[in-house]
Amino acid sequence: MDLIPAPSSAVRRPDGDFPLDATTTLTAPPGLADAERWLRGTLSAATGLPLGPGRPGAGLELVLDGTLAAEAYRITVRPGHALLAAGGPAGALWAAQTLRRLLGPDAYRRSPLRREGWVLPGADIADAPRFGWRGALLDVARHFLPKSDVLRFVDLLAAHKLNVLHLHLTDDQGWRVEIKRYPRLTGRGAWRERSMVGYRSGQRRDDRPHGGYYTQDDLREIVAYAAARGVAVVPEIDLPGHTQAAVAAYPELGNTDVVDTAALGVWTDWGVSPHVLNASEETLRFFEGVLEEVLELFPSEFIHLGGDECPKEQWKDSPAAQARIHELGLANEDELQSHLIRHFDRWLAERGRRLIGWDEILEGGLAPGAAVSSWRGFGGGVAAAEAGHDVVMCPEQHVYLDHRQADGPDEPVPVGFVRTLEDVYRFEPVPAQLDAAAARRVIGTQANLWSEFADSARDVDYRAFPRLVAFAEVAWSELPAEPAERDYPDFERRLRGHLEVLDALGVEYRPMDGPRPWQRRPGVAGRPIEGPPPVR
C-alpha cells in the first residue's frame, strides 16, 4: 500500500474491499466531531455520496481507543465496515486523512468526477507519529499571502500529517498582524515602497508597493480552521532584531540617540537590517501590549519571539544602551539581548505559555524554560538539548525550502544551498551524538520556507513541493536513523503516485525532472550559479 507518509504497518486484505454507495453511513462519538465533520464534508464533496449518520459496526465508523496514544490510530477495512480507532481527536483526523488517501487521487477533488466505483481497499493499518512537532514555517512578512492562500497551505499540511504551522508574521520588511492598541504597526509597518529583485545588494527594485496584513478576525479564522484539521498555529513576533517595520511605525522603539529613526521606512532590502529595538522599559511595555493581543488570538502553547540575527552596532554606539547595560549589571551587548529574551520568557511563563526562539537565544545565556529552533546547523540544538531544553530541529543546510532544488541554470532565483528531494528525505533530525535523555529533548522538526523569492502561492508551491512531502515522511515515519539506509528509491516510487494527489489538489509543484516552463529562469546552459551568504 503506497501511503505517504509511510505508516507503522499496513497490510492489504484483498478479500476485505468495501464498496461505497449512497447508503454508506458515517458514525462517530461526540469527542471526534471535528474528524467526523471534516471527513463527511471532504468525502461527500469529492464522491457525491451523502454519508449520512448510521449505527456502530457498519459503514465508516470513528471510535476512541484509550489504549492508543493521542495521535495514533488503527484502520480496519472489511466488506461493509471501515473502523477508524484513534487515541484522541488528533489521531482521528490523521486516520481520516489516511482513509481519504485509500480512495485515490479523485478523493481530493472538490466536486465529484464520478458517482460510483468508489472502493475502500481491504486493509489493516496501524500508525503513530515519530515526533510531536511536525512543522512548516510560512514567511508572510517578506511577501504577504492572502488569507485564502494561508488556509490552503493549512490543508496541504494536514493532508501530509504535519501539525504545526509556524507563521512568521513580522520582520524588517513588513508587519502582518493587527494590533488594535498600536494601529500604526499595520497602518505604516505593513507596507513598503518596493522590493528587491533577486538577492544582490544594490540590485534593481521592482518599484511596486507591497504589503497587507491579517485582521484579528482573519487570524482567529486561520487558527480555528487549522485546529479543526489538527494543525496548531504558532505565531512569530520577531525581536529585538528584524524589527525595522515596527521602528518605522513607532520611531521611539529604535535607538534614537544614534540614528534618526523618524526618517526610517519599512525596509526594501533582503537580509538583516541594522535597525533594532532599544532596550528601554518603555519598549518592553510596548511589546507586552503587542503580546497581550497575540496571546488572545493564538492559543498555542509556544509563542515564537525570534531572537535571531540581532546586529549589536547600534547598541555599542548608543549611550542609552550602554547605560542600560551598566544599570542591569550586564557584561556586554549579548547579555543585553539575553536580558530582553529572559524578560519575555518570564512574562509568557506567567501566562501559561512557553517561549521558543531561534538558536541565537543561546548567546548570553539561554532563557530558563525556553525552547530552541535550531537553524544554524545542529550545534545550537545539541547544546540546548544537552542543557535540558526542548528543541525543534530545522537546520538551514537541510530543510530550508526556499533554497534551490537543483544546480541547473534554469532554477528560478537560485538562492542558497542546493537541496534536492533526496537530500530532504535523508535528513535525520536527531544528532547521533546525543545520549538517550538529550535525544528525547528533540520534540520535533520543521521545514522553513522564507519568502524573499516567493511572492505568490504559485512560488510557494514550487519551492515547497514535492520536498515537503519527503519532509513529512521524515517527521512522521520511523525511518532508519542512518540516512544512507533509507530506501529512497521506494519513496520516489510512491511519490510518483502521490503526485496525482498534488495534481488533484491543484499544487503547482516542481516536477521531478525540472521546472515547468513558466517556472524556468532564462539563462545559458552551463552558466555557474552563485547563491548569497546564508541568512535566516
**Catalytic positions, written as ranges:** 171, 242, 309
Mapping DSSP to helix (H, G, I), strand (E, B) and coil, where does residue 59 land?
strand
> Distance between the two ends of the chain, CA-based, in angstroms?
39
> Hey, what's the cell of 272?
538583516
Q: What letter would DSSP give residue 130?
A: S
Q: At what angle do helices 333-349 and 281-297 cross, to 10 degrees?
A: 40
In the chain, the largest separation of any two C-alpha atoms, in whole Å, equals 79
Look at the block and give the residue holding cell 512578512.
Answer: 141
β-bridge partners, 191: 211
Q: What letter would DSSP give residue 531?
A: P
Beta carbons within 10 angstroms of residue 57's beta carbon: 10
> Hey, what's the cell of 398?
537541510
Which amino acid appears at position 218 of this protein?
D
Rounded to the nearest 10°, the torsion over CA 141, 255, 303, 210 is: -10
β-bridge partners, 196: 205
> Hey, what's the cell of 218?
482573519
Distance CA 337, CA 240 (A): 7
Q: What is the DSSP string of 489-501?
A: HHHHHHHHHHHHH
Q: What letter would DSSP give residue 271?
A: S
The b-or-e profile of 154-189 (16+ CB within 10 A means b, else e) is bebbbbbbbbbbbbbbbbbbbbbbbbeebeebbebb
Q: What share of the chain is helix, strand, coil (3-state, %, to 5)?
A: 35, 15, 45
Mapping DSSP to helix (H, G, I), strand (E, B) and coil, where does residue 368 land?
coil
β-bridge partners, 76: 83, 124
Which among 382, 403, 495, 385 has a CA at the least distance from the CA of 447? Answer: 403
